[in-house]
Amino acid sequence: MLKNDYGALAIITRFFNAGHERSITIKRNIAGSFILKGTEMGIGFLRVSIILSFISRSDYGIWLTVGSFVSWFTFLDLGLGNGLLNKLTEALSLKDYPLARSYLSTAYFSLILIMGIFFLIFLLIFPFINWHSVIIPNESENQYLNILILLAFTSFAAQMVLNIISTLLKADQKYAFGQSLGMGGSVAYFILLIISAFLLNGNLLILALIAYLPPLLFYSLATVILFRKKYAGLRPSFRFINRGYFSEIAKLGVKFFIIQIAAIVMFATDNIIITQLSNVEEVVPYNIARFYFGPPSMAYGLILAPLWPAFIDAYIKKDIDWIKKVTNKILVLWIALVFAVGIMVFAADTFYKIWTSGRVEVPFILSAIMGLSVIITSWNLPFDYFINGVGKIKLQLYNSVAVMLINIPLSILFARNLKMGTAGIILATCVCLFIGALWVPVQYYKIINNKASGIWNE
């Protein structure tokens, strides 16, 4: 028995220590991320049941809708996060640490300024907006809605700045380390939720406080500790702020900014469209289905997540063979994902009944189309990461503008005119994703084989 255990351990050890140095780093990041995200996903599933027992289904619908609404404003970083990731990864790959420090200092200053202006404007207009009509027009007044929105936006603004430390960890090929910060906040949230469910009468205000504060605390502590120790040489300083570098980051970032807006329109408007076309309670089946299909999508995303900075590093060092080998392996994995999602679609109804104790009914068509969206998104992802990493995103920019313009009209057409309901909204997203699925592998092939020209190389 001991011999077999030792043999298995030896195989695992060899796996994580074999291959190109970049591949070893990726494998270790993936393993760490799986452990962290797997735990977080498990907590997420348990958290749904506790929240449904802590607050009413209607309040839970409001909670989900407000979260979705606030997520729209992630575009306010003007794409600086992704622009910083590309430039910072390049600087660290070339071991140009003064340049990396200037990028970080400039990014911190810029985002603090942007978020400060945003939050000031928000505070000025906040009292004059009827948030009830914006968020839940078909429901009765909720006494905690205004406070919930204020807390959500405050947390959002702070998180946008604090997340720069995660970008640094990604650029330094330490993706799993960055994931551990979010995991810490998630565990604290879960523990506080359990305690509150036993001791307090649930409401949206309590839920907001225990959900928003722990992540901010963990990211704040991590930022201070890392810049005092591990990244002391990269610590942001006013002396290293460079307006020229801001333009350099922002030039690429603005393209990512527009792409982000398109993603928000496709993925973060669903809850709002559902409440506008139906009622807030219909948000719950949609999110139950989304949570159910989360694990395969999350697992696939965790495997691919370290690839963005790794592709940058490999492309700078002209290691094209490595890029091709990794991409081919990912495509084999995608085929396995298709089979897994297909099985999940047919097992969905049984799972929903057990998970929600029969309190939420999710139509089969909604599950099937949700599964299809996972399959198309997963096909696009490795090609998108490569294209984003090398910064040749002009074609993706045009595609994003096109799908942004057609997504909401398509959602309304399918959901209301064709009477498909919530499933029609997801189908509209699938149509928009499929457009990109046709051309992203073509651009990848052209760039990787040095055959790209014109818009394919911009």
Structure-model confidence comparison of residues 269 and 197, the more confident one: 197
Residue 17 has pLDDT above 90, yes or no: no
How does pLDDT run across 284-327, given as a tens digit for each residue? 788 888 888 988 887 888 788 888 888 988 888 888 999 999 99
Q: Give the Cα separation of 387 and 456 in Å (integer).
A: 10
pLDDT digits (tens, 9 = 90+) for 81-92: 888 888 898 888
> What mean pLDDT do residues 113-132 have?
86
- What would the pLDDT profile of 204-228 be if each residue is shown by its tens digit? 888 888 888 888 888 899 899 999 9
pLDDT at position 1: 44
Report the range of poorest mean pLDDT among 94-108, 161-175, 263-277.
Answer: 263-277
The continuous run of DSSP H or E covering 408 comes out as helix 394-412
Percent of the chain surpassing pLDDT 70: 91
Q: What is the pLDDT of residue 7?
A: 54
Give the total residue count for the chain. Answer: 458
Would the pLDDT of 4 be above 60? Answer: no
pLDDT at 10: 53
User: Under a CB-based contact definition with an 8 Å cutoff, are residues 121 and 253 in contact?
Assistant: no
Structural domain spans, the chain: 47-252, 269-458
Note whether 105 and 238 are within 8 A (CB): yes
Mean per-residue pLDDT, 159-173: 88
Q: Are 176 and 94 in contact (CB under 8 A)?
A: no
What one-character-per-residue DSSP string does 274-343 give?
HHHHS-GGGHHHHHHHHHHTHHHHHHHHHHHTTHHHHHHHHHHTT-HHHHHHHHHHHHHHHHHHHHHHHH
Reported as a pLDDT band with limits 50, 70 and 90, residue 347 is: very high
Summary mean pLDDT of the chain:
83
User: Which backbone phi and psi does 435 adopt, to 5 degrees?
Assistant: -60, -45
Residue 148 pLDDT > 60, yes or no? yes
Residue 101's pLDDT is 93
Name which residue leads in pLDDT, 17 or 120: 120
Under the banding of pLDDT at 50, 70 and 90, the label for residue 280 is: low
Q: Which of 19-23, 187-191, 331-335 has the lowest mean pLDDT?
A: 19-23
Give per-residue pLDDT as tens, 382-439: 999 999 888 888 999 999 999 988 988 998 899 888 888 888 888 998 999 999 999 9
Which 3-state string (H, E, C) describes 352-396? HHHHCCCCCCCCHHHHHHHHHHHHHHHHHHHHHHHHHHHCCCHHH
182, pLDDT greater than 80: no
Residue 137 pLDDT: 63
Nearest CA to 310 among 22, 18, 21, 27? Answer: 22
pTM score over 0.85: no
DSSP state of 244: H
Does position 138 have pLDDT exceeding 80, yes or no? no
